[in-house]
Amino acid sequence: MTDAHRESSGTFLTLALSGGGSRAMAFHLGCLRALNDRGLLDKVRVISTVSGGSVIGACLAYWGAEFAEFDRRMVDILRRGFNGSIARSVFFSGETPKIFATLLLTALPSFALGALGAVLSVIRVITRLPTRRLESGLARLSGLLPIWGSLTTAFENALARTIFGDTVIKDVRWKGVEVIINACDLRTGTAFRFGSEASGGWRYGRIEDNHIPVARAVASSAAFPLLLPPLIQKFSFVRGNRTSAQKVVLTDGGVFENLGVTVLEPGRNSGISVNSFNATHIISLNAGAGQVGGESSPFWWISRVKLSFETIHRKVQDATYSRLHQYARNGLLKGFGMVYLGQMDEQLPYASPDLVRREQVKDYPTNFAAMRQADLDALSLRGEQLTHIILDRYLSTL
Tens of pLDDT along 48-95?
999 999 999 999 999 999 999 999 999 999 999 999 999 999 999 999
Burial of 147 (0-12, 13-18, 19+ CB in 10 A): buried
Distances (CA, A) of 31 to 307, 371, 374: 27, 18, 17
pLDDT of residue 307: 83
In a domain, residue 108? The reply is no
Report the SS3 class of residue 102: helix
Full 3-state SS string of 228-280:
CCCEEEEEEEEECCEEEEEEEEEEEHHHCCCCCCHHHCCCCCCCCCCCCCCCC
Residues 6+ apart with CB under 8 A from 348: 355, 386, 389
Neighbours of 126 (CB within 10 A): 8
How far is it, in rounded angstroms, from Cα 132 to Cα 42?
58
Q: Which helix (H) or strand (E) holds 58?
A: helix 52-63
Pairing label, strands 242-252, 231-239: antiparallel
Neighbours of 380 (CB within 10 A): 26
In a domain, residue 43? The reply is yes
pLDDT of residue 109: 92
21 within 8 A of 224, measured Cβ to Cβ: yes
Nearest-CA neighbor of 15 among 347, 336, 274? 336
Nearest-CA neighbor of 20 among 45, 67, 57? 57
120 within 8 A of 131, measured Cβ to Cβ: yes
How far is it, in rounded angstroms, from Cα 172 to Cα 262?
22
Report the SS3 class of residue 179: strand
DSSP, residue by residue, 367-393? S-----HHHHHHHHHHHHHHHHHHHHH
- Which domain CATH number covers 45? 3.40.1090.10
Domain enclosing residue 242, as ranges:
13-85+160-393
For the chain, residues with pLDDT lower than 50 are 1-8
pLDDT of residue 132: 93
In a domain, residue 134? The reply is no
pLDDT of residue 3: 46
Active-site positions read 51, 252
In a domain, residue 343? The reply is yes
DSSP, residue by residue, 64-100? ---HHHHHHHHHHHHHH-SHHHHHHHHHSSTHHHHHH
pLDDT of residue 2: 40
In a domain, residue 213? The reply is yes
Question: CA quadruple 333, 339, 345, 348: dihedral positive or negative?
Answer: positive
151 within 8 A of 229, measured Cβ to Cβ: yes
DSSP letter at 18 equals -
Nearest-CA neighbor of 280 among 335, 327, 337? 335
Q: Give me the phi and psi of 351, to 5 degrees please.
A: -150, 135
In a domain, residue 359? The reply is yes
pLDDT of residue 1: 36
Question: CA quadruple 108, 110, 113, 115: dihedral positive or negative?
Answer: negative
Considering its fold, how many domains does the chain have in total? 1
In a domain, residue 253? The reply is yes
Nearest-CA neighbor of 336 among 252, 222, 259, 251? 259
In a domain, residue 290? The reply is yes
